[in-house]
């Protein structure tokens, strides 16, 4: 019989107090796409703010407030914070519950294994906490490097991730697999960690974040990217992912209900032609919506239909993610949810 931990990592579909975004600015690498990306984040915020608060971390508080002037002021919390980039999923905190109370785990972020500058990103959570947004919620700084996009939780003790990302020596060079998994189980309250086989989408800078490939939709349901075209470079990798997930069992010992999502037709960067990591698995779950990235192609509708069948208690909506994937992430990568109880009631 497995020991029950006092810690628990909530599933994303559990009640949320807020969702955080980090706002793009002119110092980042977006170039002429900056305004389009701001528009896409604005679309997401507009939807989410219908039903819950949104936190925006950014460089110029007054300018951001002007740009988001249509968002109800009581639902928008802007904190002036400097950052290297916009990917709040990876530099935001991972919130666990301990005896019913939230704790913000502030893992180290080193730019996905020292690929990109990240010193400012690594301080975002600290600055947000110092702003008073979270009142008495504990922020716990940890020495382990871990990004939010690297893990998925069913809220009941199962964590899924990818071996390549979690064991990357540019992240945690002094950890072996058993030690790393033991730390993750202890810190996240997991009873088990299931991992995907080696591989990733072309253009993915993260070494295979799980939220690009497979997502929990319920404790017994996983949506995953299915490769059906033998001519596509991802075919063998996605076939191995499918075989692995089909072998997984729920904590009750039953096969998971699997929801195959199509692999989008190839999307290429308009300047140098490299393939971009388009994926329908990178959807956002808010209290009211499931926000699905789309790529202006026929397969968009199939992904919408399949996710609509799974999330019958939420409305499935779409945001065009083509400008976002030019910097190798999609919609889920842009945000981090905070479970109920994190945002101060006085705010």
Range 7-339: architecture per CATH: 5-stranded Propeller (3.75)
Q: What residues contact 134, with CB distance under 8 A and at least 6 apart?
A: 104, 128, 342, 343, 344
Model confidence at 256: pLDDT above 60: yes
| Token pair recorded at residue 339 | 């479970």
Please report the pLDDT score of residue 29 as a whole number.
84
Residues sharing a CB contact under 8 Å with residue 179, sequence separation 6 or more, in sequence order: none
The whole-model pTM stands at: 0.97
First vs last Cα of the chain: how many Å apart? Answer: 43
pLDDT of residue 1: 44
Q: For the chain, how are helix, strand and coil distributed in percent, rounded to 5?
A: 30, 25, 45
Instruction: Using pLDDT thresholds of 50, 70 and 90, give the confidence band for residue 347.
Output: low
SS3 344: coil
Please state the rounded mean pLDDT for residues 181-205. Answer: 96
- Residue 304 tokens, joined: 């919408």
Q: What is the pLDDT of residue 4?
A: 63
pLDDT of residue 35: 92
**How many CB atoms are located within 10 Å of the residue 74 CB?**
9
Report domain extents, the chain: 7-339
CA dihedral 127, 18, 219, 320 (to 10 degrees): -100
């Amino acid at each position: 019989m497995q020991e029950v931990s006092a810690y628990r990592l909530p599933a994303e579909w559990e009640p949320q107090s807020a969702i955080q975004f980090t706002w793009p600015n002119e110092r980042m690498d977006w170039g002429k796409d900056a305004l389009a990306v701001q528009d896409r984040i604005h679309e997401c915020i507009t939807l989410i703010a219908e039903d819950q608060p949104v936190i925006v971390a950014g460089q110029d508080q007054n300018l951001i407030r002007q740009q988001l002037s249509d968002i109800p002021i009581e639902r928008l919390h802007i904190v002036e914070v400097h950052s290297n980039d916009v990917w709040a999923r990876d530099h935001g905190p991972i919130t666990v519950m301990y005896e019913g109370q939230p704790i913000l785990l502030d893992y180290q972020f080193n730019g996905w294994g020292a690929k990109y500058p990240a010193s400012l990103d690594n301080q975002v959570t600290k600055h947000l906490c110092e702003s008073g947004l979270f009142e008495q919620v504990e922020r716990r700084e940890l020495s382990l490097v871990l990004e939010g996009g690297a893990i998925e939780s069913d809220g009941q003790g199962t964590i899924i991730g990818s071996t390549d990302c979690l064991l990357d020596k540019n992240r945690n060079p002094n950890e072996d697999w058993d030690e790393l998994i033991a730390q993750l189980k202890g810190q996240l309250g997991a009873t088990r960690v299931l991992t995907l086989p080696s591989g990733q989408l072309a253009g993915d800078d993260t070494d295979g974040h799980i939220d690009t490939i497979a997502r929990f939709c319920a404790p017994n349901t996983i949506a995953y990217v299915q490769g059906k075209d033998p001519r596509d470079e991802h075919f063998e990798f996605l076939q191995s992912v499918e075989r692995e997930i089909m072998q997984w069992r729920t904590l009750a010992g039953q096969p998971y209900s699997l929801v195959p999502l199509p692999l989008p037709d190839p999307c290429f960067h308009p300047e140098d032609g490299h393939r971009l990591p388009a994926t329908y698995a990178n959807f956002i779950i808010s209290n009211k919506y499931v926000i699905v990235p789309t790529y202006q192609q026929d397969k968009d509708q199939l992904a919408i239909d399949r996710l609509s069948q799974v999330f019958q208690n939420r409305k499935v909506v779409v945001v065009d993610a083509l400008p976002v994937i030019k910097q190798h992430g999609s919609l889920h990568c842009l945000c981090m949810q905070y479970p109920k109880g994190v945002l101060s009631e006085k705010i």
